Amino acid sequence: MIRLQGGESRASLRRDWDLAQDRLQENGPLCGMRFRRSDRSRAPALSICQPACQRRTIPLLPMCPVRTESFASRYGVLLLEILGFVMLFSRIAEMGVLGQHVVPQTYISAVTGVVLTWIGIAIALWARWHLGQYWSARITLKVGHKLIRTGPYAHFRHPIYSGLDLAVVGAALAIDEWRCVVAVGFIVLGYWIKAKKEEAMLATQFGEVFEEHRRHTGFLIPKF
């Protein structure tokens, strides 16, 4: 609801409304709008009410979710990943055969594991940088969502998950215990399920564009 406050004029509010209409045409539908008074200038200003999003001024495009995964779906996968990371890094899981070495541990295998871990982390950070404002901890499509095809996304469709999987494999190699093998299984399975859900959502949103992207990229393993 629009309300006149103080010395605000109808002409001023009309100008703000016209500005909002121009922004709607440029950036698509917004989550909702209302007028507020700027704290510094005490002049009328247009702001955007974004449910579950941070309020921003009109020049910025809000990134409100338009589709997101369900509570059960999110926390089912999250449980797998938490269980995997606990088994990988906690000595609580060193029970019986799970605490025994898979192969005789050597300096080379330990160093190789550490190197793979850092490579995986670097890939995940690289992908996160390219994903930018479209990243979300939950599987989410936002207003104005774009299909990212730059950087690592030019070779595989889920490089963040691929990088994290590689880092987990490297850590398991460096630790070298059977509990790590089980942990890798849980974590990779969790990210695989999450990636499949993302693909279903992206295919619905982008249609043939995503199908073409899928033909030229790998799922979790890069395609050159």
Domain span at residue 109 reads 65-215
Total H helices, total E strands in the chain: 6, 5
Residues of the chain with pLDDT below 50 are 1-4, 6-7, 28-63
Both 37 and 130 in one domain: the answer is no
Both 49 and 71 in one domain: the answer is no
Both 25 and 72 in one domain: the answer is no
Question: In the prediction, which pLDDT does 30 show?
Answer: 43
Both 69 and 53 in one domain: the answer is no
Both 43 and 122 in one domain: the answer is no
The number of domains in the chain is 2
Q: State the CATH number of the domain containing residue 126.
A: 1.20.120.1630
Name the E strands within the chain.
33-37, 44-48, 56-57, 65-68, 140-142
